[in-house]
Structure 1
């Protein structure tokens, strides 16, 4: 009964929030539960790089002015052979994607 009551209260709180606030709540939940994300980077219409087990992409901000920068960054495993699996020789790395690149961020279909 307590779980149902807590759920109903949470539902009222969420529906009273703006869309942006709901998105922030959703992202917070994803950060707790984890996301098995994939980032595919394309060049000339061809897949050139893939990163696995990406939790999130973060927009970079300036140190002094705190203004958003034209790139996002994250951490993930390079999928050298594009098989959606982290193999022995594939290491976790820091990566950046600019607003001028074509990239897609999605959940790994082969969880």
Structure 2
């Protein structure tokens, strides 16, 4: 019983000893491993115009030669044509998409199971 209690306490102490950036990196690593049921909403003129479902992560693009970050992010997901938070039969194809730093978009976990 004591061993079961010691392991979580040791992990908690290790995690709390990390800087905020190290904690964020660790959290992202865990999410990359386990996956995220993410949603990306894209807005134009204050109106929802596109929604992507089952997005694991948004990746910042980097240049091939200079490895500098580019002003857009990319991911793969399913287009939610009717905005119902479900992948319907006519939405079964996973697509590549990009969002620029100049667009209004939100990335969040799907509120429906």
Q: TM (normalized to structure 2)?
A: 0.93
Aligned to 1:52: 53
Q: Which of 95, 98, 106 matches 1:96?
A: 98
Shift of 1:108: 0.8
Shift of 1:34: 1.7
Shift of 1:104: 0.5
Aligned to 1:81: 82
**Residue 41 in structure 1 maps to residue 42 in structure 2:** yes
CA-atom RMSD in angstroms: 1.0
In structure 1, stretches of 5+ residues that fail to align are none
Runs of 4+ in 1 over 3 A off after TM superposition: none
Q: Deviations over 1:65-85 (max 9, x none)?
A: 111100001110000111110
Distance in structure 1 (CA, Å) of the matches to 2:67 and 2:3: 43
In structure 2, stretches of 5+ residues that fail to align are none
Distance in structure 2 (CA, Å) of the matches to 1:89 and 1:7: 44
Q: How many residues align?
A: 111
Shift of 1:32: 2.1
